[in-house]
Every structure is written in C-alpha cells, then in structure tokens.
Copies of this chain bind each other. A is one copy, B any other.
Amino acid sequence: MNEFDFIEKIRARVRAKHDSASALITRHSSLIQGIGDDAAVIRSQAGKDLVVTTDLLIEDIDFKRDTTSPELIGHKALAVSLSDVAAMGAGARWGFVSIGLPPDVWESGFAERLYDGYFSLAEQYGVELAGGDVSRTTEKIVIDSMLIGECDSGRAVLRRGAAAGDQIFVTGFLGDAAAGLRLLERGARVHTASGPKPLEEVSVNRLLLRQLCPDPRVGWGILLGEQQLASAMIDISDGLSSDLNHLCEESGVGAMIDASRIPIDKLVTEICGRRALDPLMLALHGGEDFELLFTVKPENVARLPRKVDGVSICQIGEVTSEPGKISVSEKDRVWDLKAEGFDHFKREG
C-alpha cells in the first residue's frame, strides 16, 4: 500500500466513527476539516481555551519492538498525550499522529495495528483523529502524538498556581510503571492469551501493562479543572521527584512529602522484595506512571470526591514557602528530595 492509499484508509475509519455534521451544532469548538487537506480546521468558540500538547516516542528509547506490540504502542502514544491534557484539567478533542517507519515495518502492516490501538483508546475518550504525517525512516520507528483539548476559558490548571499551605495529592499508585520496566528488562513479557494463570504471573502482567499500556487519569483531570478544585497540576511522566520539582519551580514554592503516605501498590512492594529493589525509590523517581500530581487549597479539600472512575487519591504532603526546597519525612528523619526522574540526556554516575 502506498502512503496516500494508507491515509485514505485511515480517513475512512475516522469518517465511519464520526459524523462531522453533528459536530457543527455542538456548543464546543468543532472540527470543520479533518484528514485530507494541508491542515485541519477548527472553528473556535468564544469562552473556550484550547490546550495543545505533543509527545515524541522513539524506538529503543521509549519502547522496544520485542517487548510490546503495535497496538500497545498506538495506545501509549495517545495515552501520554491524554495524560498531559488531563493535567491541564481539560477534555481531549482532536488528535494528530505523525509516524515514521522503516520500509520493512511498513510492509508488515505495523501501521494499521498501531492505529487499531490508537483508535481503541481514542473512542473511549471521544478523541477524533484530525491529521498527522507519514514518513519513512531508515531503521527505527518514530511516533509523534499531538493532542488538542478544550476547557472553559481560564479554567486550565497550570503548574504555577500552588501556594504555601496547599495540600499535595496524587491519583492511583506510584512506582508501578518503573517496576514493570525493571521486569521487562529482566525478561518478563506480557501475556495476552486468556485462561487461568499462576498468581505471580497475573501480578507481573499487571505491572507490565502499567508500563506498556498506561491508563491516563482523564476523569480526574476534567473534574479537578471543571470544579476548580486544583490550584496547580502536572502529570507524573518523568517521576514524582522531577515532576514535583517542576510544579514547585513554576509556582515558586517548596514541598514537604510524607514518605509513609506515598501510595505504593503492595504488589510492587512484594515484587521489589523478591528482586532487591527499593519500592520507595521506584515511587519517588520512577517515571511513566501517568498519575496526576495536584495541589488543593485547604478549604477545598472536603469537596474532593473519594474516587473517580474507580481511581482513588492520596494526600502525600503539603506545599511550603521556601522556593525549590522539597523535603521528605521518613520515620524520624527528614531529607532533601533531588529531582532524579527521567532525563533523556542525563549523564550516568
């Protein structure tokens, strides 16, 4: 299949899912022109803000072909962008995907399967694929996911709104994805076949999927934005230590974290125990959990729901006034937390 036939096929899939006529009568901004022109056209709506994020995934850096599947890569490409839009307190609307594939991968039907994974998640959250680009590479797979979301004007939750005294929360559990990555590196592989399995295998599979098939906190993001509950928010993609540092830097504040309150799945604790890994270090510095980290003014804490979409939250600490100083209290000692999450160009040692 050539490039243009492929684009037409993707376009037909999008058309089958969305009736563009119905989009024109919504109260939201709407897509006037999707795939099939030099650019997509979005009709703006007064009283709305658009949020725009872009995430680059590179083979052998962000994923390995032999530890995942095209469908999981397509899922993850959208999931990481959905997580960014959620972290702005916005709802996702239009996606753009640029893919670069080596010729043999193109011939193998990889792209169709990647879009299967993308579309499956897009459908779940009402995202319409509005454009993108297709290119050839010499060897490695490259995917750039761009996502546009929308919220009411002025309701986007930035990193810079935290103030001393605000309470710090995270959704879900931390360190799962990092534990999953360690398991992948030690040779574990995802099982997709159904049927009964030993408990250990089921547990391992769950952690592998937290790494390979992240579940962005879309419901929490929209709720925290729409109800103006979060004073600042970021998604945990690089790791709690790095992302909390970003939030504090932008807000000009510090933070005190209570180590005992960091939500660590007991499965992670168990698996770490058997493999000589420290679960707290995974939770603090491990990346790609795609949980939300947010701050809430004390008077708003009582308005927080306990769960959204079955996902609970934990209060892990408090915002302090000393800019950039992030401390962790662990039993009877208090230590400074350095940003040691993921950095593409960090020197080792």
Question: Which residues of A approach B to under 8 Å, CB–CB?
Answer: 1-4, 6, 29, 32-33, 36-62, 83-85, 87-88, 90, 94, 96, 98-100, 103, 106, 130-140, 142, 144, 146, 148-149, 153, 156, 158-160, 233-235, 242, 246, 250, 343-346
Minimal beta-carbon separation of A164 from chain B (angstroms): 21
Q: Which 6 A-B pairs have the closest CB atoms?
A: A46-B46, A44-B44, A39-B53, A144-B144, A39-B51, A38-B87
Indicate if the CB atoms of A144 and B54 lie closer than 8 Å: yes
Within the complex, which residue of B29, B32, B37 is in contact with A44, where a contact is CB–CB below 8 Å? B29
Indicate if the CB atoms of B153 and A43 lie closer than 8 Å: yes
Q: Which residues of B contact A96 (CB under 8 A)?
A: 52, 54, 146
CB-CB nearest in chain B for A32: B49
Interface centre among A41, A62, A106 (most CB of B within 10 A): A41
Tell me the complex Cα distance, A168–B113, Å. 40
Indicate if the CB atoms of B38 and A142 lie closer than 8 Å: no
Within the complex, which residue of B1, B47, B98 is in contact with A54, where a contact is CB–CB below 8 Å? B98
Known: A138-B140, A146-B54. A46 touches B49 (CB 8 A): no
Indicate if the CB atoms of B41 and A133 lie closer than 8 Å: no
Known: A58-B142, A88-B37, A344-B136. A42 touches B53 (CB 8 A): no
Minimal beta-carbon separation of A155 from chain B (angstroms): 10
CB-CB nearest in chain B for A81: B39
Indicate if the CB atoms of A235 and B49 lie closer than 8 Å: no
Tell me the complex Cα distance, A140–B32, Å. 36
Minimal beta-carbon separation of A43 from chain B (angstroms): 5
Q: Which residues of B contact A135 (CB under 8 A)?
A: 56-58, 61-62, 344
Known: A33-B158, A38-B159, A40-B53. A58 touches B88 (CB 8 A): no
CB-CB nearest in chain B for A159: B37
Q: Which residues of B contact A344 (CB under 8 A)?
A: 3, 134-136
Indicate if the CB atoms of B61 and A136 lie closer than 8 Å: yes
Known: A43-B153, A100-B142, A343-B4. A38 touches B88 (CB 8 A): yes
Indicate if the CB atoms of A100 and B58 lie closer than 8 Å: yes
CB-CB nearest in chain B for A150: B44
Minimal beta-carbon separation of A238 from chain B (angstroms): 9
CB-CB nearest in chain B for A43: B49
Known: A2-B345, A32-B156, A39-B88. A52 touches B234 (CB 8 A): no
Known: A32-B156, A136-B344. A39 touches B56 (CB 8 A): no
Q: Which residues of B contact A144 (CB under 8 A)?
A: 54, 56, 98, 133, 144
Indicate if the CB atoms of B41 and A88 lie closer than 8 Å: yes
CB-CB nearest in chain B for A111: B345
